Each structure stands twice: as C-alpha cells, then as structure tokens.
Amino acid sequence: MGESYIQKGLDALMTRLTMILTILPLLLVAAASLRADAPVYVALWFDTEDYIEPAADDAALRIARDLTGLGVRATFKVVGEKARVLEQRGRWDVVRALALHDIGYHSNFHSVQPTPALYLRDLGYVEGAAEFERREGPGALDLARIFGVRPSCYGQPGNSWAPQANAALRHMGIPVYLDEGSQVGLNDQPFWYGGLLHIYNMGRFQLRAPLDGGEPAATSDERFDRAAAELRALGGGVISIYYHPNEFVTTEFWDGVNFAKGANPERTAWRRPRRRTEAESERCYRVLHDYVAHAKSVPGVRFVTARELLQLYGSPSPAPAQRAHVAEHMSARQTFLVTEGRSLSAADMLLSLLGMQPEVVDGPATRIASSLDRASIPRAAFERAKADAVSFIRANKRLPAAVWIGADKLSIGDFAATLSGDDRVAAEIVFRRANLEFEKYFSNEPRKAFDWPIHPEGFSAPELLELGKLQGWTLKPARLR
C-alpha cells in the first residue's frame, strides 16, 4: 500500500517533469524572442595545415570560394609551412581566395617535432616566450609576406598548448587566441587571458555538422538553433565552429600518418594520407555549405572573423573601478570581478589597489611561498613592499612571484589579500592568506589536457598547467561592447 502511494507520487512527479522538459525549449525560445536583439556571433574557422597532400590546397580554395558565395567570411588559420608550400606551388588562386577571409596563424610546422608543448614544458615563462617567438615568429612573418596581412589570431597545433605563447604572441602583434582545448576555459564563452582575447574551450557553444557518420542535416541544424536560442536568452555571445580543409579530401590526417607518437621522418620519407573519392568530397562540401546557409538564415546570427571579434570585445585594459568594491572582493578571493559593466582580472585589481594605471601585465613566472610567520606587518615595511611591487611590475610588465618584507617573503597571493584588507590607516597591517579562486578555471589533468596522437606516447605536462594557473591572475570574462 505504502509502495503504491509512493509510486503514485513518483508518477505524478514524472508527469510534471516530463511536462517541464516538454515546454522547456518553448520557454527558451520565448525568452529568446524577448531578447531578439541580443547578437549571436558565429566564428567559423579552418585550420589550414596539410602541406603534404596537394589536394588539400584545392579543398581550401573550394571552401573559401563557397563561403564567399554565401556572403560569409571565415578565419583561415594557416600553418607557416603551408603558406610557403602554396607559394612554391604557385597557388596564388588559393592565397587570393583565402585572403578575402581573415588570416590567422597555426604554428610554423604544426606537427614536425618538437611541437610547442614539448619544447616549452621544461622552460620558464620568460625564457619560454622567447623560445616560442624564435621558433614560431618566422612563420608568422611568412604569412604576412604571402597573404599581405599580419595574422589576426593564433591557435596551437593539436593539444600542444603552452601559456608562454601568450606573451610571445602579444610581442608578435597577434591579439586573439582562437582554438579548442581543455587547459583553461570560462563558462563556454570568450575570455581575456594573458592579454589576448581567447575564443577557447567553448563547450556547449562549440558546434559542427559532422562530415562523417551520416547525421541528418536537421539534427545538426537543430543543435545550432538551440545553442543560438540559449545565447540570445543569455544576452548574446559566440558560437565557435571549426573544420580542417584537409578533412574534405582525405580520410586520415596528414600528420597522423607521418608524425604520430613523436615520430619525425625526413621530408623525403613523408607519406600522403588516403584520399576521399570525388563524390565523397562533394558530399562533404555540401554538408558544410548547407550548415552555414542554415546558420546564416537564423535571425540575429552574424558570422564574424577573429579580427572582428576583437572589435566587438574591445580591449583587455579596464577603466578603473570603485576601490572599496575591489578591496572587499580581493580580500576574500583573488579572481576576476564583473562590476559596473566592467570585467576586471585579479591582476587588474591588484594594479588598481597599488594605485597604478590599468595595463596588460603577465602573471608571476614562478610560485613562491610566504616565509613570513607574523600576524601583522608594520606600516613602514608594508609601504616599502608596495613601492617595490610597483617598481617590479613597471620594469617587467609582470607580477612578482613574491614581495619582500625585509628578509621575509610574501607570496603574490598573500600580498594581494593583505593589501586588500589594509584600511591604509592602521600602524600594523593584518597578514591575510591568499584564496586563488581563479585556479579553478584550469585543468588538473596534465595527461588528458595534452592528449594528441602527435605527442610522444604518455606525454604529460603538469609544468605547463602550473605555469598556466599562475597566469590566471590575468583571466576574466570578455564582455561585448
């Protein structure tokens, strides 16, 4: 008896749940129509990387022309060697067709060993940034020479991610990071990190119509519609869609057949990947064409390039915010704050509390623990420490890992927490411990985050995740202007 009573209750609950689930999409659509003006931007990008199979040149050309025909501009992230090969093969038709879109950068050699995570894993932040620029800089210059524009964005080959790239890319004048990966992410939407606008780790807003597997177009289209409706309900945002031109003409990846598990054959020994048939390629072009045509027809949807996204999201430097609010936030937790229509990183707020002008700085290059074992710091010693922190940041455009109180150290986190709690009057400043909340936006899986068939088997890079977390001082949501 009791059982059937419970059963009835459960049945009623299930009925209600089913009802809610049935009307949920309708509610979403209704909410979306209320905010019909909220923009949904689609970043469509192509990692243009296969420099071994010449048919991949034709694939890039075909895709670029199809999209131009649809009135859509995409972002072609080109590998340095791919650009040089196009030049050598005299494929100016491809160069011209791609140049009508936005040109991004996808590393100098992509999969020739050592790839970025390999050569950066054992290097520090500053040394690593210099090494990244030494190895990858020439390819970006080749792109500028061949395409006539400086690349607007960069994204790592495979999962060969490393935080030192951010400082190098800023120095190279590349302001956007456009790719996919799990090392760092913020609510499936664009964010600022290391001074670059990141369209990265987009989760439920990273979509595609699969080329293989026979998914009906209606299914991919519905997935797009749902994501667009959700974004509109959230007040607007970005959907990220990516392909590789080589996928349209080959059934296996050009690098997988040559550089898997750390292999590095000589150029003369490179093998060409297996081809799709002409009919299969045509079917793939049709999938992309129809998917883009559908997305474009959805009200409020606009295709944008990486360069345009930078215009839409503005600059990483914030206008100063109210000091009391910043201090209250930072004394409890060191992480970004969205307030008064501004987005502030922990680094932005630390600079503001130190009385500095807003500017892009890096996070600390190392992690140093506090050695201070007192409950408070005398005013004069603390003011000297503040002045020294300001001097370090001005000189290095980077946060110090620690700040000195005489012969004792305060970690940058403990220093920030202590500074935030200072009323600027007391003779003794109470020592507060850090709560680096921004670290939760980083992966703690050093093997999974770098999992890529081209990396040596079992490759793991906890050092890069740690360095990435240290740069979490610069992390904050990007806000549409």
User: Nearer Cβ to Zn ion, position 157 or 363?
Assistant: 157
Number of residues that bind Zn ion (CB under 5 A): 3
Cis peptide before 114 (omega within 30 of 0): yes
Nearer to Zn ion among residue 47 and residue 53 (C-beta):
47
Give the number of other Cβ atoms within 10 Å of residue 425's Cβ. Answer: 6
Stretch that binds Zn ion, among 49-57, 144-152, 167-175, 455-463 (CB under 5 A): 49-57
The packing angle between helices 80-88 and 92-99, to 10°, is 130
E-strand stretches of 89-182:
102-105, 153-154, 176-178
Minimum distance from CB of 404 to Zn ion (Å)? 44
CA angle, residues 300, 64, 162, in degrees to nearest 5: 85
Closest CB to Zn ion among 120 and 475?
Answer: 120
Q: Which is nearer to Zn ion, 51 or 473 (CB)?
A: 51
Using the minimum distance from each CB to Zn ion, give the nearer residue, 49 or 348. Answer: 49
Task: Retrieve residue 259's tokens.
Answer: 């550089």
From the number of C-beta atoms within 10 Å of its C-beta (0-12, 13-18, 19+), residue 444 rates as exposed
Residue type present at position 198: H
Taking the complex as a whole, the smallest distance from the CB of residue 104 to Zn ion amounts, in Å, to 11
Q: Tokens 């196009």 appear where?
A: 86
Q: Would you count residue 188 as binding Zn ion (CB under 5 A)? A: no
Question: Least distance from C-beta 172 to Zn ion, angstroms?
Answer: 19
Output the residue with the shortest Cβ distance to Zn ion: 47
DSSP 366: S
Q: Is 131 in the site for Zn ion (CB under 5 A)?
A: no
DSSP letter at 341 equals T
Residue 134: CB minimum distance to Zn ion, A? 21
49 scored as a contact of Zn ion (CB under 5 A): yes
Q: Least distance (Å) from Zn ion to the CB of residue 383?
A: 50
Task: Identify residues 134-163 at the interface with Zn ion (CB under 5 A).
Answer: 157
CB closer to Zn ion out of 182 and 435: 182
Q: Which of 227, 189, 222, 237 is nearest to 39 (CA)?
A: 237
Q: How far is the CB of 158 from Zn ion (least distance, A)?
A: 6
Q: Which of 40, 41, 47, 330 binds Zn ion (CB under 5 A)?
A: 47
Read off the tokens for 324.
């009391």
To which residue do tokens 């850090």 refer?
434
Q: Which residues of this protein are in contact with Zn ion, per CB under 5 A?
A: 47, 49, 157
